[in-house]
């Protein structure tokens, strides 16, 4: 008898309701976790033009009749949450940490295009820090795959994977020829939450973040990625592109941070650092396809 989960929906779940359910989701705490065979398909959906415009404003994208490259991620995000709220998912959702994200855009998507969005667990693995969960999102327009995303979340737990030996002297951040400075307001997390649906309390207020062990509220990692794409995408001169990032240290709000980058043969390497250029927040690359 198959335990596969196949859900087809015509409207995305509400994230506020999902976070309420997530507070009571405990997980199984098994030492040998197994991800469920589960997928969700959201059919025949269109972006809300007003929401797209607000998202573009919050993240620094120019006004356009095309979706910002990172916008399909927030359309898929409620499906990610719903997958992790399934009873067969072995972890508590509120304990997960977003550690990596990759977006591949095969072509730009029109604001008024109809899409089908499919999300599923694509992989999982033990690491020295815990267990990593990959959630894949595939976006189709007129039956053609136009956008893909992989979000990797870490569940901190003890494993039998040994930690790598730390270097005696940590490597410094590389020198890059170009730099932009950004000032982030204290309400950035709330403004991004209003357009992304990601209302995790650690991003909203210092008080709510402290309830989850943070010294203050932090910027969304996907805002930082979106802001970086907004700054660098047009420099590629290519609609088709891939953007991969690793999330490093959190950005506590309010903050001043800097984007450093270096173009190399159709690819731009970048990192986001603190104002002093010492602490890394995000590291990655964007390249034309």
SS (H, E, C) 62-118: CCCCECCCCHHHHHHHHHHHHHHCCCCCCCCHHHEEEEEEEEEECCCCECCCCEEEE
What tens digit of pLDDT does each residue of 147-173 get? 999 999 999 888 888 888 777 666 778
What tens digit of pLDDT does each residue of 197-253 get? 888 889 999 999 998 889 999 999 999 999 999 999 999 999 999 999 999 999 999
Specify the pLDDT at position 169. 63
% helix, strand, coil for the chain, step of 5: 25, 35, 40
% residues pLDDT > 90 (the chain): 76
Contact between 73 and 103 under an 8 Å Cβ cutoff? The reply is yes
CA angle, 67 then 20 then 255, to 5°:
55
* Mean pLDDT on 18-26: 72
What tens digit of pLDDT does each residue of 122-143 get? 999 999 999 999 999 999 999 9
Contact between 157 and 81 under an 8 Å Cβ cutoff? The reply is no
pTM: 0.93
Domains of the chain: 5-156 (3.10.129.10), 178-288 (3.10.129.10)
What tens digit of pLDDT does each residue of 243-283 get? 999 999 999 999 999 999 999 988 999 999 999 999 999 99
* Mean pLDDT on 40-51: 96
φ, ψ at 4 (rounded to 5°):
-65, 145
Max alpha carbon distance in the chain (Å)? 58
What Rg, from alpha-carbon coordinates, does the chain have? Answer: 19
């Amino acid at each position: 008898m198959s335990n596969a989960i196949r859900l087809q929906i015509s409207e995305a779940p509400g994230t506020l309701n999902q976070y309420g359910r997530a507070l009571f989701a405990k997980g199984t705490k098994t030492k040998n976790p197994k991800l469920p065979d589960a997928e969700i398909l959201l059919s025949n959906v269109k972006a809300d033009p007003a929401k797209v415009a607000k998202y573009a404003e919050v993240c620094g994208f120019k006004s356009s009749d095309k979706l910002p490259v990172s916008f399909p991620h927030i359309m898929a995000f409620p499906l990610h949450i719903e997958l992790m709220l399934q009873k067969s998912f072995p972890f508590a959702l509120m304990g997960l940490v977003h550690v990596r994200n990759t977006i591949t855009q095969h072509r730009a998507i029109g604001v008024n295009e109809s899409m089908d969005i499919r999300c599923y667990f694509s992989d999982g693995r033990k690491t020295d820090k815990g267990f990593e969960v990959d959630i894949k999102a595939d976006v189709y327009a007129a039956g053609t795959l136009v956008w893909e995303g992989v979000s990797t979340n870490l569940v901190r737990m003890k494993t039998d994977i040994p930690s790598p030996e730390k270097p005696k002297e940590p490597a410094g951040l590389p020198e890059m020829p170009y730099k932009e400075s950004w000032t982030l307001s204290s309400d950035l997390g709330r403004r991004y939450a209003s357009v992304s649906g990601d209302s995790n309390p650690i991003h909203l207020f210092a008080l709510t973040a402290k309830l989850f062990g943070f010294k203050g509220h932090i910027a969304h990692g996907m805002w930082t990625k979106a802001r970086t794409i907004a700054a660098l995408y047009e420099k590629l001169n290519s609609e088709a592109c891939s953007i991969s990032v690793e999330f490093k240290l959190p950005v506590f709000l309010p903050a001043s941070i800097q984007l450093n980058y270096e173009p190399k043969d159709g690819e731009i390497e970048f990192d986001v650092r603190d104002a002093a250029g010492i602490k890394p927040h995000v590291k990655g690359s964007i390249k034309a396809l």
